[in-house]
Amino acid sequence: MAVASAASGSIFCKQLLFCLLVLILSCDACQKISLQVPSHLQAETLVGKVNLKECFQSASLILSSDPDFRILEDGSIYTTHDLILSSERKSFSIFPSDSQSQEQKKIEIVLDVRGKKVPKKRHTKDTVLKRSKRRWAPIPCSLMENSLGPFPQHVQQVQSDAAQNYTIFYSISGPGVDKEPFNLFYIDKDTGDIFCTRSIDREQYEQFPLYAYATTADGYAPEYPLPLLFKVEDDNDNAPYFENKVTIFNVPENCRTGTSVGQVTAIDLDEPDTLHTRLKYKILQQIPDHPKHFSIHPDTGVITTTTPLLDRENCDTYKLIMEVRDMGGQPFGLFNTGTITISLDDENDNPPYFTETSYFAEVEENRIDVEILRMAVHDQDLPNTPHSKAVYQILQGNENGNFKISTDPNTNEAVLCVVKPLNYEVNRQVVLQIGVLNEAQFTKAANSKTPTMCTTTVTVKIKDSDEGPECQPPVKVVQSKDGLPAGEELRGYKALDPETLSGEGLRYKKIGDEDNWFEINEHTGDLRTIKVLDRESKFVKNDQYNVSVVAMDTDGRSCTGTLVVLLEDNNDHPPQIEKEVTICQNAKDYAVLKPVDPDGPENGPPFQFFLDNSANKLWNLETKDGKTAILHQRQVLDYNYYTVPIIIKDRHGLHARHMLTVRVCDCTTPSDCKMKVKNVRDVKPSNVILGRWAILAMVLGSALLLCILFTCFCVTAKRTVKKCFPDVAQQNLIVSNTEGPGEEVMEANIRLPTQTSNICDTSMSVGTLGGQGVKTQQSFEMVKGGYTLDSNKGGGHQTLESVKGAGQGVTDAGRYTYTDWHSFTQPRLGEESIRGHTLIKN
């Protein structure tokens, strides 16, 4: 299969009707050249082209043997007028010659006229067609973008070698045929000519990959599908344009020469890496245009500064009119323009300065928190930024801290205030030196020095006023000994009248005394103690006790001061420990003692620990580090409560004896111990101490007993009454100390007295003795040398007669002497006293 290609016409003329494919059939291209042409040729039609440089290097004259054709210097063959070729083949010759060497060559041109094909069928007895890859190969072809036509425009021709023997039909497929864009290309099925129907935009379609097919009339494909690639040649039809419509760059003022401002970029839609997209940048105009501050690199588009004289205070914004042009910046290249805005960032290159060189103000003495002056400043830097916001300082004249200066955030003015009272009697005028800076540090401008601080002076006149007393200093300290008794005097707080510089006529009053330790002298302000001063009081902080005092003049004006009483520590408190500790036998067999001394460190540890001699048998005390001690058991003790006497001394020997209760318990931690005292015997104290109420009960009991005995003695001595008493055997005197019920008194044991006439007139009820539910009333009559004892009820364990004994004869039945009564009652009264004493101790 043969493929003929026709070159495109001139780009500038753009009037080429169609292209012819050139076929070189002979081996020697300089002797015979075959061209295939249609039967009808219009005038000025390109028939073909001969490569004259390969045939003749220096052809100065080219002649044609046929006047119907003319040959140009580049070898192009054109028709001179319309031609109709009737025969299938026409030939003529061209003669290139060199006028200097007189050399001439002959090249024969053969024109093959394309006509209609006669279908030739392939018979079954014919040899099977063989596919040949030798001539069925693609030839590169290109299409011009934005071609002006005329359309349809011939693009290329494909042919199969099988067409020499059989009728071949051609077809194509791919983008531009049966895919988007549809119907852009079509092929003549008989001749294999491919045509384009309309112009093409390369920016939309860069190339078209197609496939060509060759088939016989019965559908047989003697060739493989032929891939065809139609590339669209770029036309410079797109002007470059800036990527951003609005471009703003920022650069600091006073920057160095060559500082990069920014880079502009442009886009060209034409084919990359060609002359159509080779862009050049240029600054057409700078606004304002003088002086020139910027330049641009023509290839990269980077804008840089050309001078260090950019000053925002003179001009804060520049505009650059930019141009971008393709074709390497050639005049015939396409171009576009854009505007670039360059804003200058402010630098703190202008110091603030006061609008006046000096200022004057007045203020009354003792006024505080009052504004006395405002000062304005001017700054050329950008407003409301750290480069222009003012910071004011008082450089001189404010050594006492009477003034404060600040900045008004709204007006940027300096506001001078008095924050500490001024005293007219001390100073009648103050001169201040004020300086001003910016919040941001100064930067050095081009060709200038670094800015410095601007200063001004302010003269403040102090006006006199009648003022009240002054409490200076506001806090005074006096020293006192710890434990100072009541009634002692201390020097108090003294105030002064600033007009007279004396304290005469002032009255003092105490307004703060937490524990009411002092009373104040109204005229002198001195203090007198009304309590003993105690450094260890909860109202004393860091050995200091504060007393607040107010001093008033006759007009009621006052001032307040504080008197600090600094108490010197006195060793008046011995070390103290907790009253009870617990030893858990399951965890440890000892207890740690940590004494606390309310006195200061000078009168505190190291401590000394001692055990009483009575506790050495069970306990051992070991001093640890002068601050703690460890109490050990000498042997394993029962679970119980123990009282251990311990003596603890401080470093100066002040001591106290403590009765420490130690609880030995079956536990792991003290909180787990649940042991309680069940009865008195469970506790084993080392000694017993009676309380005052127990001692008082014993004294009163003894006194009552003595009174009873003394009364009995007196009555017996004065009167002697005849004792009339029934039979002793019939009387029962019950003495019982038991709490159980007494014996029942049966009627058989009761005998009424037989000698009732001898009963004495004087009687005394001495009490009720007996058991539970049984009362025994005894009445006796005192007679001369004896008494009568009657028992009406009850039964007893012992009678008076039994005490007297069987060996003593009774001279008179029913009569007993005082000695008998005393022998019977005294032992029982003593027994009751002993039992009561025992109960009191328990």
pLDDT tens, 99-141?
A: 666 677 888 888 877 654 444 444 444 444 444 444 455 667 8
Helix (H, G, I), strand (E, B) or coil at 800: helix
Q: What angle do CA 414, 316, 379 make, to 5 degrees?
A: 15
Residue 118 tokens, joined: 């006669």
Asked if 631 contacts 619 with a C-beta cutoff of 8 angstroms, the reply is: yes
Asked if 327 contacts 334 with a C-beta cutoff of 8 angstroms, the reply is: yes
CA distance 214 to 220: 9
Instruction: Flag whether pLDDT at 760 surpasses 70.
Output: no
CA distance 533 to 554: 33
Q: Which pLDDT belongs to residue 139?
A: 67
- Select the more confidently predicted residue: 569 or 419: 419
- pLDDT digits over 592-612, tens only? 888 887 777 777 788 888 887
Mean local confidence (pLDDT), 371-400: 92
> What burial letters (b/e) apply to 761-793, b meaning 16+ CB within 10 Å?
eeeeeeeebbbeebebebebbbbebbbbbbbee
pTM listed for this prediction: 0.43
- Structural domains for the chain: 33-113 (2.60.40.60), 141-233 (2.60.40.60), 241-345 (2.60.40.60), 353-460 (2.60.40.60), 475-568 (2.60.40.60), 576-665 (2.60.40.60)
One-letter amino acid of 206: E
Of 495, 496, 565, give the one whose Cα is nearest residue 527: 565
- pLDDT digits over 19-65, tens only? 333 333 333 446 777 777 787 788 888 887 777 766 666 667 788 88
Q: Which pLDDT belongs to residue 181?
A: 92
CA distance 454 to 437: 7
Q: Give the pLDDT band (50/70/90) at residue 445.
A: low
Asked if 490 contacts 565 with a C-beta cutoff of 8 angstroms, the reply is: yes
- pLDDT digits over 458-512, tens only? 999 998 877 778 788 888 888 887 778 888 888 888 888 777 777 787 889 888 8
CA distance 43 to 757: 201
Helices (H), 255-367: none
Residue 511 tokens, joined: 């307004």
Residue 178 tokens, joined: 């049966």
One-letter amino acid of 525: G
- Select the more confidently predicted residue: 744 or 318: 318
Asked if 677 contacts 641 with a C-beta cutoff of 8 angstroms, the reply is: yes
Q: Give the pLDDT band (50/70/90) at residue 5.
A: very low
Mean local confidence (pLDDT), 579-588: 82
Secondary element (H or E) of residue 92: strand 89-98
Residue 817 tokens, joined: 């002497």
Question: What sign for the dihedral angle of Cα 116, 122, 126, 128?
Answer: positive
> Sheet holding 153-157: strands in order across?
153-157, 193-196, 185-187
CA distance 638 to 665: 8
The single residue listed with the structure tokens 């004869």 is 809
Q: Which pLDDT belongs to residue 136?
A: 57
Secondary element (H or E) of residue 512: strand 507-512
To the nearest whole percent, how much of the chain has pLDDT over 70? Answer: 73
Question: What sign for the dihedral angle of Cα 232, 236, 239, 240?
Answer: positive
CA distance 817 to 809: 12
Of 628, 635, 688, give the one whose Cα is nearest residue 664: 635
Instruction: Flag whether pLDDT at 635 surpasses 70.
Output: yes
Mean residue pLDDT across the chain: 75
Mean local confidence (pLDDT), 558-581: 81
Is the peptide bond prior to 606 cis by the omega test (within 30 degrees of 0)? yes
Q: Give the pLDDT band (50/70/90) at residue 432.
A: very high
The single residue listed with the structure tokens 């009960």 is 697
Helix (H, G, I), strand (E, B) or coil at 615: helix
Asked if 365 contacts 421 with a C-beta cutoff of 8 angstroms, the reply is: yes
Helix (H, G, I), strand (E, B) or coil at 467: coil
CA distance 732 to 750: 9
Instruction: Flag whether pLDDT at 721 surpasses 50.
Output: no
Q: Which pLDDT belongs to residue 460?
A: 94
Q: Which pLDDT belongs to residue 125?
A: 42
- pLDDT digits over 212-240, tens only? 999 988 888 888 889 999 999 999 999 99
The single residue listed with the structure tokens 């108090």 is 492
Of 138, 183, 169, 174, give the one whose Cα is nearest residue 156: 138
Is the peptide bond prior to 252 cis by the omega test (within 30 degrees of 0)? no
Q: Are strands 76-79 and 655-665 parallel, antiparallel or unpaired?
A: unpaired
Which residues face 358 on adjacent strands? 457
Residue 157 tokens, joined: 């021709």
CB atoms within 10 A of CB 277: 20
- pLDDT digits over 766-818, tens only? 333 333 333 333 333 333 334 333 433 333 444 444 444 434 443 444 444 55
The single residue listed with the structure tokens 């001189």 is 396
Angle between helices 692-718 and 818-841 (to 10 degrees): 170
Helices (H), 5-161: 52-55
Q: Which pLDDT belongs to residue 789?
A: 39
